[in-house]
Amino acid sequence: MDTYPIFTKQNKSLLAKYLTKEVFEKLKNVKTKNNFTLFDAIQSGIKNKDSNIGVYAGDLESYDKFDLLFNPIIESYHNFSKTNTHISNLDSTKLKINPLDSSYIISTRIRVGRNLKNFPLGTIISKEQRNKVEQLVSNTLLNFQDELAGDYYPLYKMDNAIKNKLIQDHFLFKNGDRFLETAGLNRDWPYGRGIFHNKNKTFLVWINEEDQLRIISMQKGGDIKMVFNRLVKAIKKIEKELPFLCHNRLGYISSCPTNLGT
Ligand code: ARG
């Protein structure tokens, strides 16, 4: 099948590969309940010709309504076919790994993307909904105790000293990513965004960047188990208060199909 003629040979994205004329015709009038369309899903890949993937989702339903396009992209990227079902396993006792030799490893970081149930994804979320997500997530995190206790720093009023320090430590996310921009993910910047971190900056949560939550555990050296344990503890504590958006087959849902699963 030919790819749709809006793409040229230079366009190497999975979007260009799988948006055949036939798929385009079948999906061009499809909409989710939140009015997310094919046009919305492919914007970033159309405008950024160097995209690798080229699509973003608008909500949970996008992954079903646009499955003719999303499934082959997911299969190609994750080697996960449309008959597979994702199994999430956050049982750290099953982790078969010893601390790695810290003389070779500067730091270890594990992060996951999560979004809240009952909200559309950041691509089409309204300003009010985004602010609500910020409020729900930051209030939950501000109740955390002990090692996970920390503060929330909203981006719009972050003072320069804190900002510069976070940038220097590579902890801060930046505006201006053209992929996110064209996917609608930077609307109303910098409002509704911010960073929570504990005192030691070993536990961080970005709020309302590409996903509503990016939960991060990190520390110096190579103790993966310790990093993973902290991450799992935090994920479970958040999830108890705020259920995450989850698909019965694909696992936890992200705006970009590259981050699906666990
Ligand atoms: N949308 C970009 C592309 O298609 C980035 C994809 C992966 N990265 C990400 N942050 N989701 O090339």
Q: Could you read off the pLDDT of 26-37 as tens digits, one per residue?
A: 999 999 999 999
**Distance from the CA of 107 to the center of ligand 1, in angstroms?**
24
Q: What is the DSSP letter of 245?
A: P
**Distance from the CA of 53 to the center of ligand 1, in angstroms?**
6
pLDDT of 208 strictly over 80: yes
Q: Could you read off the pLDDT of 185-200 as tens digits, one per residue?
A: 999 999 999 999 999 9
Q: Could you read off the pLDDT of 102-112 as tens digits, one per residue?
A: 899 999 999 99
Residue nearest to atom 11 of ligand 1 (CA): 256
Among the listed residues 77, 83, 67, 80, the one whose alpha carbon sits nearest the alpha carbon of residue 26: 67
Mutate to test the pocket of ligand 1, among 209, 258, 259 (most ligand atoms within 8 A of CB): 258
Mean pLDDT of 41-49: 96
Q: Give the DSSP letter string of 224-251.
A: HHHHHHHHHHHHHHHHHHSPBPEETTTE
SS3 per-residue string spanning 118-178: CCCCCCCCCHHHHHHHHHHHHHHHHCCCHHHCEEEEEHHHCCHHHHHHHHHCCCCCCCCCH
Among the listed residues 108, 105, 84, the one whose alpha carbon sits nearest the alpha carbon of residue 95: 108
Residue type at 69 in one-letter notation: L
pLDDT of 1 strictly over 80: no
**Distance from the CA of 12 to the center of ligand 1, in angstroms?**
13
User: What is the band of 21 on the pLDDT scale with cuts at 50, 70, 90?
Assistant: very high
Pocket of ligand 1 (CB under 6 A): 13, 44, 51-54, 179, 210, 256, 258
**Distance from the CA of 96 to the center of ligand 1, in angstroms?**
30
Q: Which residues contact 206 (CB under 8 A, 6 or more apart)?
A: 173, 193, 194, 195, 213, 214, 216
- The per-residue pLDDT for 238 is 98
Global pTM? 0.95
CB 40 within 8 A of CB 184: yes
